[in-house]
Amino acid sequence: MKRREFVNDLLVGGGALLGTRTPAIAQHEGTSLQGVTPSLNEEVFVERAASGKPHAGKVLAAVQPHTDDVPIFAGGTVAKLVGEGYTGYLIRTTNDEMAGSGTTGQRVWDNERDTEGVAKALGLQKVFNLEYRNHQMDEISRVEMRARMIHLIRLLKIDTIVCYDPWGIYEENPDHYVTAQVVEAACWMAGMDLDYPEQLAGGLQPHAVTQKYYFARGPQIVNRVVDISAWIDRKVAANVANKTQGPSGENGARLRAKLAVQKVRLPILGNDDDAANRAYIKNIVLDYDSLSQRGVLSDRELGRRYGLEWAEAFHYIGPRQSLLDRYVSEHGVAL
């Protein structure tokens, strides 16, 4: 395969690297790709809607530095996984003090309120705010934050993480890459039986995260595309909650009012503010103007390439499945 085609198949996050060639699609369901260490020639697995509650009994944590990160890039997948049975939590690592208007205290409060709205829209049970200072996470002690994350993973028994890709390239925000890198290390270290013995003495058990959905706002190696068609309106609702920062919130109503002054009407924005906000997010932020507003391909266009209505892209890392028992059963002989 020519290098350009090869890169286009894999790097679907950034607009400048988007190819027109349709990537290879693994249409099958199942576990064929789970447990395989992602490599540069791995097929893209399409995760479709599941019937019933196949994830009942499992725990998910959506981890984000800022209140708008998960809603923008992974809100559909989080809503889907919770809808399919996961118990979900939201972990926000900063205090978002640098986004919004008014005093610092007002901005912190506005974003805290928005974060609660995001959790509610996505069906998440509780928010844990770690409150590191916004834009300054490159100065924190990563070991201190890692200990907090390990404590949460063990306490909540988190099986699955949705977070920024710690290996995503061209990420310029230190809050994004520090959070992702700390989470990545905490996921496996939480399963060790020697790290942080005081937590174990306090009654917690080692518990490793076994499934990770990593999203990025720039190019990344994508090996999983999730069908969020049934959850797109829930994703829109989570983005409506982000009124203080980000491309969504009440920008639809603002555009509708601005155009009215100019004696212009966009029919897609409907007849009231709430309809305008939802239609703007769904059709403009997540679709028509996605590359400008989010830095990634339109959810609708990504879906179209995989025969879906709406989709989100991830670098997914799943549990490793040992073949040792099968080898022993096939090759073992009686003593």
By C-beta, is 66 or 294 nearer to Zn ion? 66
Number of residues that bind Zn ion (CB under 5 A): 2
Residue with the CB atom nearest Zn ion in the bound state: 66
| Binding of residue 256 to Zn ion (CB under 5 A) | no
* Least distance from Zn ion to the Cβ atom of residue 66, Å: 4
d(Cα 9, Cα 11) in Å, to the nearest integer?
6
Q: Give which of 51, 80, 111 is closest to 213, Cα–Cα.
A: 80
Name the segment binding Zn ion (CB under 5 A); options: 40-48, 62-70, 101-109, 177-185: 62-70
Closest CB to Zn ion among 217 and 256?
A: 217
Choose between 66 and 235: whose C-beta lies nearer to Zn ion: 66
Residue closer to Zn ion, measured from CB, 10 or 286: 286
Q: What DSSP state is assigned to residue 15?
A: G
In the complex with Zn ion, the residue whose CB is nearer, 69 or 159, is: 69
State the nearest-atom distance from the C-beta of 176 to Zn ion, in Å.
Answer: 6
Q: How far is the CB of 70 from Zn ion (least distance, A)?
A: 9
DSSP 206-245: -----EEEEE-SS--B--EEEE-GGGHHHHHHHHHT--SS
- Contact segment (CB under 5 A) with Zn ion among 59-67, 130-138, 241-249, 322-330 equals 59-67
CB of 192 to Zn ion, least distance (A): 30
Choose between 49 and 98: whose C-beta lies nearer to Zn ion: 98
* CA distances from residue 273 to 54, 233, 260 in whole angstroms, order as listed: 37, 16, 12
DSSP assignment of 22-50:
PPPEE---SSSSTTSPP-TTPPEEEE---
Three-state secondary-structure class, residue 308: coil
Q: Which residue has the tokens 């200072």?
A: 133
| Residue closer to Zn ion, measured from CB, 124 or 190 | 124
Residues 6+ apart with CB under 8 A from 89: 59, 60, 61, 62, 124, 125, 126, 127, 128, 156, 158
User: Distance of alpha carbon 104 from its chain centroid, rounded?
Assistant: 27
- Written as one string, the DSSP assignment of 244-278 is SSSS-TTHHHHHHHHHHHTT---GGG-SSHHHHHH
Interface with Zn ion, residue 69, by CB under 5 A? yes
Stretch that binds Zn ion, among 68-76, 101-109, 137-145, 258-266 (CB under 5 A): 68-76
Closest to Zn ion by CB, 179 or 211: 179
Of the candidates 304, 318, 289, which has an alpha carbon nearest to the alpha carbon of residue 227? 304
Whole-number minimum distance, CB 228 to Zn ion, in Å?
Answer: 20
Could you tell me which stretch among 7-15, 40-48, 64-72, 149-157 binds Zn ion (CB under 5 A)? 64-72
Site string for Zn ion, 102-141 (x = CB under 5 A): ----------------------------------------
Q: Which amino acid is at 83?
A: G
Give me the least distance between CB of 276 and Zn ion, in Å please.
25
Those residues whose C-beta lies under 8 Å from the C-beta of residue 124, and which sit 6 or more positions away, are 62, 78, 82, 88, 89, 90, 118
Rounded to a whole number of angstroms, the minimum distance from the CB of residue 231 to Zn ion is: 21
Shortest reach from residue 107's CB to Zn ion, in Å = 15
At residue 195, what is the residue type?
D
Chain positions contacting Zn ion, by CB under 5 A = 66, 69
